[in-house]
Structure 1
């Protein structure tokens, strides 16, 4: 199937190359070069200069492209404002939206789709640093601030930069099943599902921000021992600090209390487990350190605004997996 990626001057190169490599690796593992054929569609002909300075050859421009795409993705850019208001481009995107099976964006390429009216009344994701701006400029879009990628009907949008690879991998799984997607993820040294689930802001990322080594060690300890006693007295002892000083330094280093970090880490793991298994909630809660399911439900609802059962219905493996792992129509 033909995959088009819309690019332009100062495009973020990984927004194009990342998904392209996922699709190419899937085609290689299928032993079918035509399983996925990626085309770079430019706003102008020739070689585009990416945001990192490398050149990107264009296969066709949007005004000369013959059509017939299965999937169209709009890449992002640190200078997305240069194309987000292009009326001719918007007309073309609206026409494509009516003919392709899937249309979507990587990173702040969502602004281009929004400018064409394609996000109106739809759920969408973008780079965390652009969420507020997208929501303010396009209030009819339902912007989800903490998602790696979002599927709403035939509209697929992803968070920043490398999340475009997560989106492409999800499309491969949708088209050909989990086994191929897992094979691609292994070959490209990716997670089939990131630690922390579908969140841009997981405890696994937060654990990289502390400057003091003893605070990072505590965070690593938490992530590795979610079913243990992770009270402030125990964590302070692990850090070799008094409880009061530990709590003060931890908050100064991470922007959250130790209890908030522990809860975030446990709920991140719960999300990951619910997306990849049918583990009963009682057993799942025990595995991540909750004494009972009521405490787990309260924490899950407090952190995400939705209960674990509802979350599993939306994001669980059964909900995300196609009925059968077969070739696309």
Structure 2
């Protein structure tokens, strides 16, 4: 296999984890194949000078971006990775110009977190579906209506361009690319070494139900939220939950939606799907047993919920993501 150069673009105010997370994944793959390293990870800033990350760390790049400027004999990276960070909010015309002129020559173009904003300013996301950190999706959509911004997934792949959500989602995307290039076994070994999960599909939501919903202000409603999370197999009808909150069903349903941002039924659906996913990933329990443990009653009810939420059936989900980890330290 021909070695792929992964060029990570550096700039002042970059988020350090956006750089080091994917770098560790691609470098880990090369460590696993020492006789023929599949990746060569390089970093470059505009002028080759060190950059200061958003957390105050200093990163020293391997070179300047001018070395990849497309002149005769200049290397053309296989993958250009643009990380995010506070620095993406600065109007760096020179960096955007470099991306516009040279990033399209790469076979893969990746952004992590708010790195999508730099690609957007360079016009490289026009007409594409993309995502970014949840806190900046609305801004990206407002400033660049030509982009189909999807705030839900942890990463989106549209042709040769891939965009990912906040920080650690860059690791998920990098693992997905390694799996595509080198196979699942290599990606799983890297995930084990990094003590992360090779499980999160791109369409997984950036937030769990508990995080995507607001925390209710009133204690009885907060207690109900906690009860739902801890008892997905229980009677979670509006009537039962209202009784637990000591409210009428009508008042409870209105108050719950007003304070959490979603209906009780939607919240319950999300909690049950998440719980079922974890059981399918982490245990060897049968689908029927999992469906009962999550309050579905029947495997068919769980199958319908999975297809609606994740676009795949439970059995297929388990086949893809059931990877019990035994981490060597």
**Interval containing the TM-score (normalised by the shorter chain):** 0.7 to 0.9
Contact kept in structure 1, 2:110 and 2:162, CA below 8 Å: yes
d(CA) in 1 for partners of 2:312, 2:117: 30
Give the 3 Å change call, closer, same or farther, for CA 212–189 of structure 1 in structure 2.
farther
Contact kept in structure 2, 1:106 and 1:161, CA below 8 Å: yes
Contact kept in structure 2, 1:83 and 1:112, CA below 8 Å: no
Give the 3 Å change call, closer, same or farther, for CA 222–50 of structure 1 in structure 2.
same
1:19 Cα deviation after fit: 0.9
- 1:74 and 2:82 correspond: yes
1:79 Cα deviation after fit: 3.1
For residues 5-44 of structure 1, what are the structure 2 equivalents within 5 Å? 5-31=8-34, 34-44=37-47
In the alignment, structure 1 segments of 5+ residues that lack a partner are: 301-306, 322-329
d(CA) in 2 for partners of 1:236, 1:318: 34
Q: Which moved more, 1:126-135 or 1:38-47?
A: 38-47
1:55 Cα deviation after fit: 0.2
Contact kept in structure 2, 1:196 and 1:271, CA below 8 Å: no
Partner of 2:65: 62
1:187 Cα deviation after fit: 2.0
SS in 2 for 1:79: helix
Give the 3 Å change call, closer, same or farther, for CA 77–216 of structure 1 in structure 2.
same
- Aligned pairs, number: 307
For residues 1-329 of structure 1, what are the structure 2 equivalents within 5 Å? 1-31=4-34, 34-65=37-68, 66-83=74-91, 86=93, 89-98=96-105, 100-194=106-200, 198-206=204-212, 219=225, 222-223=228-229, 225-232=231-238, 234-235=240-241, 241-244=245-248, 254-268=260-274, 288-291=294-297, 308=308, 311-312=311-312
d(CA) in 2 for partners of 1:275, 1:133: 35
Contact kept in structure 2, 1:41 and 1:58, CA below 8 Å: yes
d(CA) in 2 for partners of 1:219, 1:242: 14
CA RMSD across the alignment: 4.0
Q: Which moved more, 1:135-144 or 1:192-201?
A: 192-201
SS in 2 for 1:156: strand
Normalising by structure 1, we get a TM-score of: 0.75
Q: Which moved more, 1:2-11 or 1:227-236?
A: 227-236
SS in 2 for 1:64: helix
Normalising by structure 2, we get a TM-score of: 0.75
Give the 3 Å change call, closer, same or farther, for CA 161–213 of structure 1 in structure 2.
farther
Partner of 1:327: none
